[in-house]
Amino acid sequence: MRFIAIVSSFALLSACSLWPFAQSKDEPPMPPSSELAIPVLELPGPQSDPAARDGDKSTPYRFADVVAVDVTPQSHGVWSSWDEHQHRWRLEIRSAGALSLNLHFSEFELPAGAKLTIFNPAQPAARAEFGMANNRSHGQLWTPQFLGDHVQLDLVTDPQLKSAIKLRLKTVNVGFR
């Protein structure tokens, strides 16, 4: 038993010491662990009865409850920085029992070089990235559905561009079907 614990500790120590080298070359190094605590916005779980039919077939199919929020990088989340060239804003959104989440930004405008990544931390490969190419004349953004009951928002930008970012999350669809 002692041998297993020593081997496990060694493997953990080795994995932790090599972890920064496994990052993408496009991403700056991670900030100190003291900056890694990501605030969580807790939303109510699904309220609708998934077994109930919405009635008449002329009404749209309902798959989610709409939860109104008012989230900006100034009001929620946490900013961190590695150096004078990269700042990162992060926020996690959770809704216990949700089958999926998708987000509606009533204000969305990112300058060149800024990138918003949204993903479920339990499924990091299923991610969506948004940047200046996603800016529209109406100034809004609807994301695809993310399976699971939580998503993480990760915005990376040059600190000089922070004032040019327009990002306001207005609603979250909490999937129940």
Task: Report pLDDT digits (tens) over 66-81.
Answer: 999 999 999 999 999 8
Query: What letter would DSSP give residue 7?
Result: H
On whether the CB atoms of residues 102 and 43 are closer than 8 A, the answer is no
pLDDT at 64 over 50: yes
Q: Scanning the structure block, which residue is given the tokens 């999937």?
A: 175
pTM of the model: 0.76
Task: Report pLDDT digits (tens) over 83-141.
Answer: 788 999 999 999 999 999 999 999 999 999 999 999 999 988 889 999 999 999 999 99
Q: Tell me the C-alpha distance between 127 and 55, whole Å.
A: 34
